[in-house]
Each structure stands twice: as C-alpha cells, then as structure tokens.
Amino acid sequence: MNMISSSSTTKCGLCLFLLTTFFISARTSDTINTSQILSDNSNDILISSTGAFALGFYSPGNSKNRYVGIWYNDIKDKTVVWVANRDHPLTDRSGVLRVIEPGRLLLLNSATSATIWSANISSTVQAPLARLLDSGNLVVADENDESNIIWQSFDYPTDTFLPGMKLGKNFVSGHQVYLSSSKNNDDPTTGYFTYQFDPTGYPQSVIKNGASVLSKSGPWNGVGFSGSQNLVKNTLYSFGVIINENEAYYYYQVLNDAVYTRLVLGEIGVGQRLTWSNQTQSWKPYLAFPMDNCDSYKVCGAHGICSTRTWPDCSCLDKFIPTDPQGWNAGNFSNGCIRRTTLNCEDGDGFLKYSGVKLPDTEGSWYNASMNLEECKVTYAENCSCTAYASLNISNGESGCLLWFGELVNMREIAFGQHIHIRMAKSELGSGSRKREIIIVTLPVVIGIVLLGLGLFLFYHVRKNPKHQQQETDTDNLRDSGETHGEQKIPMFELSTMFNATNGFSADNKLGEGGFGPVFKGLLEGQEIAVKRLSTTSFQGAHEFKNELICIAKLQHRNLVKLLGCCIQGEERMLVYEYMTNKSLDLILFDQVKRRILDWPRRFDIINGIARGLTYLHQDSRLRVIHRDLKASNIVLDSDMVPKISDFGLARICGGNETGAKTSRVVGTYGYMSPEYAVDGLFSVKSDVFSFGVLVLEIISGKRNRGFTLENHRHNLLGHAWMLYKEERSLEVVDSCLEYSSYSSQVMRSIHVGLLCVQEEMEERPNMSSVVVMLNNDGVLPQPKQPGFFTGRDVIRSETWHSSNTAGSANAMTISLLEAR
C-alpha cells in the first residue's frame, strides 16, 4: 500500500509538474495549438516574438468585466488595440481561450462550457495554431504551413488601425474591414461611430454615426485624400491606397520599427493618429479628423463651399447663388446653391475651372485612369449629364479622369487643394457676362462709399454724445454681430434663460470674478455651463465683449475653451462657455494641498496643451490671434485635466503676415507681460511666448512669478530660475511636492525651454511651433540668455487694478496702462 501510495504521489506530482510547465510555456510563448489553452484564472498571456505585443485577459478602466485583448507589451500604461469579446464580456475569471480543429478560435466559460466568442473562418486546416505576431496581429494558421492563414484579427479590428492593416473591402469575398468606436474607456462595447474606406464611386474615407454620414475625406488623389490637409508625407510612416478588381483598401506602414503609432476612432467619432513618445512616456497626437466645422459632411449643401477663413463658413461657389436666400441669410445652408444662369446643353455649355478646393463627394462618380484631362474634357463636353471633371491622380503631374454626374457636395477651400472643372452656361464663360461682371465689380464700390459716409456720420455723432451714443451703438453692434450679419452665428440666449440657468445668478453659483465681471455656473438643457457676465463697473466694456465674442467663435481647437452662445439684452452682456470641471489652473497649481494632484506627467501634458493651443492661435488657425493676457487663471481644465486657453477679451487679430503691432493702451497682467509690451507698448506673438515661458516656470515650480521672494535675493521667479540655471542647479526650482526622478531629463528640458521663452530680447525667443518641437524631442537646445524683468524691478506705471476672487492672487489681476504722450 505504501508503494502504491508512493507511486500515486509520484504520478500526481509528475502531472502537476507537467501542467505547471505547460502554463509557464503558455505565458511566455507567442503560440497556442489544439493541445494548449490560455486561462484567465492562471493569468496566462501570449507575447509576440520580439516582445512588442501581448495577448491575454484584462479589465478596462474601472470595469470588473473580463475581456481578451491585445496590447502593447512594453508600454507601462496598458494600451489595448484589439478586443475579441468586446460585446460579450465575462463577469468573472472563468474565461479560457483555445483553438480547435478545423481552425476555430474559441473563448469559453470554463464553468459552464458556454462559447462566449468565436472567430469566423471561411476555410479549414488539419493542424491549426494561433500565433500573436509582432505587428499586433493574431492569426490562425496551419501548423505545417504558417503562410496558410485562415483567420486574422487584422480583418476584424475594433477601434484601432495598426500599421499593416488593410482598411477597405475585398470584392471577391465581400468582406469589409472598418473601425468601430468603443462606448468609453471603461466599456469596449461597440459604439455608435465607424471609420470606413468606402470604395463606392471612387474611394474615400468616411466617418459615420450609425447610418448617418458625419464626415468624408474627399477622394484619394495619389498623394492623400483630397480634403485631409494634415495627411502629408512624413518621417514616421508611409501610406497609400490600393485599388484593383479584387480589393480596394487604405494602408500605412511605419518607417522605423522602433516607433509605435496607431490610429484610433474615439468614442465621440473623432479619429486621431497617435505616436508613442519614449521621452514623455505618453501618446502624442499627430493629427486629428474631423478637424473643424468644414469637415462636416454637406455642411454647405450643394455647390456651396466651406472655408474657416470667412464668417460664416459657408458661401456659394463663384457664379452660384443661394437656393433659399432667406434661409441662407438666417444661417441655414443645407439647401445649398444653384447656378445663377441655368444650363442649356444645346446652346453649348462649357466648363469653368475652380482652384484650391477639396473635391466633391465621389459617391456615384466615375473614373478612367488611362485618360488624361484634355481627353476627359473632349470626351465628356457633349455629355449633358456630366457636371464636373478633375484629375484622378496628382502624384506625378496630373493624370486620369474623375467625373461627376449630379450635384456637387462636400467641398471646402484648401490652400493646396485641387482644380475642378464645373459645367456652366455659355454666358458665364466669356464676353456674354461682361455687363454682369461690371455690375458685380462696381456695386460693392458704390455700397462701400455709402457705408463709409454713413460710418463718418455715426463717428461724428458719437463724438458729440460719447456716453449715451457709444452705449447704444455698442449694444446694437453686439446684437448685430451675433444675429443679423452672421459674423459668428452662435446661439443667442434670452436673459430669462440665463437667469433660470444660474439660479438667479446666485452667490452659490458664482465661480469667480475677473476684470470682465463675475462668472457663474449654470445648467442649460442638461448641460453644465459657465456664464461670464459683464459687470456694469467692469474695466472691460462692449469692445472687449465683442472682441471675445467674434474672436473665439471663429476658433476651434482642443486646447481652446468652447463658446456655446451669448446673451445681449438691454445692458446685459453675457458669454456662455462649456463648463470646466476643474476650473482654472491657478486654483489648483497655487494651492498647497490641491497642487499635489498635479504630478509631473499631468503638468507636462498641461504645458504641451497650452503650447499647442498657442501654436494654433499664432499660425495654424485661419486668423492670427495674439492673446495678450495668457496667465494661469486664464487656463481652464476639463474633467481629464486637458488645458484650454480662455478669456479672449484682450486678444488682437492680425491680418495677413502681420505678427504684431504697437498700442498706446497696454492691457494685460503684470508678472506675465513681456518687457517690450509693458514698457513700449509693442505686442506680438513673441509677447505671448514670453507669457507662456512664465507659465511653464510657474507650472514646474508651483510658485507665482509675481510676488515670488527668497531671503537670499530679490529676484522674481524668472530671475531665480535663471540664476539656478547658470549654476547648473535648475532642478532646485521644481515644486517640492513633485516626484520627478524618472522624468528628470524632461523636467530639465522644460525649464530650459521656459527660459528660452522669457529671454529679454523678443527676437531671441522661439515661436510656438518650435516650442512644441523642442518640448517633445531630444535635440540640442540653444543656450538661453538673460530673461526680461529677471531682477523683479518695478515699472513706472499708472494702474487700474481689478482683482480676482482668488485669495492672494496678485498674478490674477488684469491692468491697463495708459501711456502719457
């Protein structure tokens, strides 16, 4: 009995040893076959051969549900790129993944033996295995011939498009590969939005909400998608489109295997190209789409063209007029435009060339790759149903022919857009329209003269009655700006609506107060809002109110606060913004307790976000905007701590290539103002760069620049950081509550960039696009020179102070200097 017992024990031990060995191999292998399983209960995991990707069970965010997913193996924060059972979660750790003959991949509930998820296969193999590749692709193949792949996860993506995938359609099988959004970070369930490469007509990429089209990229032109301004040749990845009788798809490949990049369709239908930064240990956005309102599908209707350089965004193509003039003037552009002269094919219609446009929607279009543009014109000039033609491919000159046979929709103005030839009536093409052209040219001149005379009359009249007339004129102009002329076309709210939304502007709803007046929290149709109400004793008046209304309504960026509407009624003037959960940066950064929630990654993300917002204002937006009052209290934070630049009451819009100007009325905040602006009234984009540099040093140190003191010197924060830099002790300026040891090089670099931004000579300061590059790359930085105001000296000034409700917030005060000349 003892021998039998001993033998049984030995056998059990051997079984346990073999079982343990098997599970260890499953954790370290990239493959499972029919004799192996992947068990959630045992924490099994597959790792691709180079360690780039891992596959296993996980729970997203705060969820307790269990899913099988693929993620980047060597990135600390788990970034999942594919989910098997996204719509069928497990509620416990009973999941088992296995592959069975003849090649089906199964996710089972080991407790009930129920199939939770399975892979669809169109063919079979006798010895199947599942392997996780270094591309992040999970494949099922023949163990004896792994080139015989019968299923792969790349054919069934979730919300992520990885290098090597084919986004498109196989015409032989009918299978279409597309992305679908997730519900949210805690729930990978299939969401409402899809991103597709649509081969209908001529291929273009499409974002949909269910069956409704939200955005179309414009057709592929050999270089990129006609309307995708940010999709350009770069050093990170190559991309292209393949079209043949068997398939049509869009793809991209990384140019360096060490670079991680992915395209993600977000939960609100916005696609982002993200690249992993080893320096910051975070994902950095490379491009996003849709980019602005003009990327919305059919936003200007048929024959309308969208441009973010004009206001409103929509206008009719030249020689077209609104189909519904009354609706058009009211801001309803959906009915689009019609030709002002009706086509008459028998009379000899022709084609008129339009340049710099995103080509129209190609659904229902036709193309011929072998035909050149002139052949296209000759062949289809007499085809009365052909409404427009353009080059199919512009990658090497112009080649091919792309034709439209109906209304032209989804066009926008693009600086480097394409040419399109649109069918027009004969009278619109030559001398027959000369009389009309004379009228078109002279009529604006006559109107301009009349308006100039009227303006001079009003100016004289206002000068005679300054207070009363100015108040009436400003109020009328403000309402006119918001409603009549369509200058910004934002909702106009009634005073009663604002009163109810803020509980009667109660003290309990008051968020703060600045130079403009008080700001109240409110609730409007279920949405939290912030209502900025102009005080009757405010330093800022109707001019600043109108300036902010017009300025921010024309700007759309992730790092700019969003304007929802305004209220102009009697003497009341209010701006309605999206409510920012975490309020303004200064309330957290300069609070001895709250600032601890701002760890270094969050602070660096805030610095980066502000930099990107300023880059947009200075050079990427259709307007060139100088903010002139950038400070911690004008940076607001949403629920995810994403920074948004706010308060554009003092901003200046520059025209053309203008980057600055001079003023006799200096407005801004001491501690953030550049020397040339505070002393000489010279403001420019470099003034904002100086303010940004101050903000960077404040964010790093957790200290205000203005009012900063130390016992051993009288320097302000800029002077203190400069002295430490010269003594190679820069890290001593860092906030004492920060743990930054693993980010020390990034912190040092940020301090260095901050000092470059606050140099005394404005010509020495970098522009904001360079700042973004310097913050996020490892290149050698120039040596900074002495900062402006580094001794903390006082400037002779005449001040009008308007304090914030933040206790001890000297930096949050906005001042106005009137130069005595």
Query: Does the pLDDT at position 5 exceed 50?
Result: no
In contact, 559 and 642? CB cutoff 8 Å: yes
Dihedral sign of CA atoms 113, 116, 120, 125 in order: negative
Burial of 177 (0-12, 13-18, 19+ CB in 10 A): buried
* pLDDT on residue 624: 79
Q: What is the per-residue DSSP string for 496-559? A: HHHHHHTTTT-GGGEEEE-SS-EEEEEEETTEEEEEEE--TT-SS-HHHHHHHHHHHHT---TT
* Residue burial 580-617, b: 16+ Cβ < 10 Å; e: rest: bebbbbbbbbbeeeebeebebbbbbbbbbbbbbbbbbb
Q: Residue 476 above 80 pLDDT? A: no
At residue 336, φ and ψ (nearest 5 deg) are 65, -150
DSSP string, 138-185: EEEEETTEEEEEEEEGGGS--SEE-TT--EEEETTT--B--EEEEEET
Tokens matching residue 522: 């409110």
Candidate from 217-226, 676-685, 722-731 with smallest mean pLDDT? 676-685
pLDDT digits 0-9 by tens, 333-384: 999 999 999 998 888 889 999 998 999 999 989 998 888 888 888 888 778 8
pLDDT at 790: 57
Omega before 675 within 30 of 0, i.e. cis = no
Q: pLDDT digit string (tens) for 235-258?
A: 788 899 999 999 999 999 998 888
pLDDT of 317 above 60: yes
Respond yes or no on whether the N-terminal peptide bond of residue 290 is cis (omega within 30° of 0): yes
> Does the pLDDT value for residue 676 go beyond 90?
no
**What's the Cα-to-Cα distance from 83 to each of 80, 181, 268, rounded to whole Å?**
8, 12, 19
pLDDT band at 166 (very low <50, low <70, confident <90, very high): very high
List the structure tokens of 83. Answer: 């989910």
> What is the C-alpha to C-alpha distance for residues 554 and 488, in angstroms, rounded to an integer?
7
Q: Is the pLDDT of residue 539 over 50?
A: no
Give the Å distances, CA to CA, from 199 to 71, 162, 203, 542, 641: 30, 20, 4, 52, 40
Per-residue model confidence as pLDDT tens digits over 190-213: 999 999 999 888 999 999 999 999
| Residue 286, C-beta contacts closer than 8 angstroms, at least 6 positions apart | 236, 261, 272, 273, 274, 275
Mean pLDDT is lowest, of 471-480, 501-510, 751-760, for 471-480
Helix (H) or strand (E) segment spanning residue 451: helix 434-464
Q: What is the pLDDT of residue 520?
A: 92
Instruction: State the CB neighbour count (10 A cutoff) for residue 38.
Output: 25
DSSP per-residue letters across 202-265: S-EEEEEETTEEEEEEEEB-SSSBTT-TT----SSEEEEEEE-SSEEEEEEEESSTT--EEEEE
Each as own residue / partner, the long-range contacts of residues 486-490 (CB below 8 Å, 24 or more positions apart, any chain) are: 486/311, 486/312, 486/329, 486/331, 487/311, 487/550, 488/311, 488/549, 488/550, 488/553, 488/554, 489/311, 489/312, 489/331, 489/553, 490/549, 490/553, 490/563, 490/564, 490/565, 490/566
* 356 Cβ contact partners less than 8 Å away, ≥ 6 residues apart: 413, 414, 415, 416, 417, 418
Does the pLDDT of residue 175 top 90, yes or no? yes
What CATH number matches the domain at 26-156, 3.60.15.10, 3.40.50.2300, 2.90.10.10, 2.60.40.420? 2.90.10.10
Nearest to 312 by CA among 488, 565, 547: 488
pLDDT digits (tens, 9 = 90+) for 372-421: 888 888 888 778 889 999 999 998 888 999 999 999 999 998 877 889 99
The second-level CATH assignment, the architecture, of 585-818 is Orthogonal Bundle (1.10)
The answer to whether 30 is a known catalytic residue is no
> Whole-angstrom Cα distance, residue 23 to residue 793?
70
At CB < 8 A and 24+ separation, what contacts does 257-264 make? 260/72, 260/75, 261/163, 261/236, 261/237, 261/286, 262/79, 262/81, 262/160, 262/161, 262/162, 263/160, 263/161, 263/179, 264/159, 264/160, 264/161
**For 24-89, what is the HEC assignment?**
HHHHHCCEEECCCEEECCCCCEEECCCCCEEEEEECCCCCCCEEEEEEECCCCCCCEEEECCCCCC
User: pLDDT band for position 644 (50/70/90)?
Assistant: very high
Predicted local distance difference test score (pLDDT) of residue 2: 37
- Transcribe 579-636 into DSSP letters: --TT-BHHHHHTSTTGGGG--HHHHHHHHHHHHHHHHIIIIISSSEEE-S---GGGEE
Catalytic residue among 629, 647, 688, 735: 629
Rounded mean pLDDT, 641-651? 87
- Of the candidates 643, 614, 641, 619, the residue with the CA atom closest to the CA atom of residue 629: 614
pLDDT of amino acid 661 = 57
**pLDDT(804) > 60:** no
Q: If you count them, how many residues does the chain have?
A: 821
The residue with greater pLDDT, 227 or 20, is 227
The pLDDT value recorded for residue 821 is: 28
Comparing 783 with 570, the larger pLDDT belongs to 783
Place of tokens 């084919």: 166
Burial of 484: CB neighbours in 10 Å, binned 0-12, 13-18, 19+: exposed
- pLDDT at residue 682, rounded to an integer: 83
- Specify the pTM: 0.56
Average pLDDT, the chain: 82
Q: Give yes or no for residue 228 having a pLDDT over 50.
A: yes
Sheet holding 37-39, edge to edge: 37-39, 95-100, 104-109, 114-118
Among the four given CATH numbers 3.30.200.20, 3.40.50.10540, 3.90.190.20, 3.30.420.40, the one describing domain 467-578? 3.30.200.20
pLDDT value for 18: 38
pLDDT attached to residue 453: 60
Place of tokens 């309402």: 479
pLDDT at residue 595 in the model = 92
* pLDDT (average), residues 733-748: 92
pLDDT at 63 over 80: yes
pLDDT at 172 over 60: yes
pLDDT at 441 over 60: no
Lowest mean pLDDT, pick from 9-13, 69-73, 573-577, 607-611: 9-13
Phi then psi for residue 442, to 5 deg, are: -80, -30
Q: Residue 777 has what pLDDT?
A: 81
In this predicted structure, the answer to whether residue 517 has a pLDDT above a threshold of 90 is no
Residue 602 pLDDT > 50: yes
- Write down the pLDDT at residue 445: 53
Residue 286 has pLDDT above 80, yes or no: no
User: Beta-carbon neighbour count of residue 799 at 10 Å?
Assistant: 11
Give me the pLDDT at residue 161, please: 97
Retrieve residue 272's tokens. 């982002």
pLDDT > 60? residue 797: no
Per-residue model confidence (pLDDT) at position 442? 46
**Per-residue pLDDT tens over the stretch 123-160:** 899 899 999 999 999 999 999 999 999 999 999 999 99
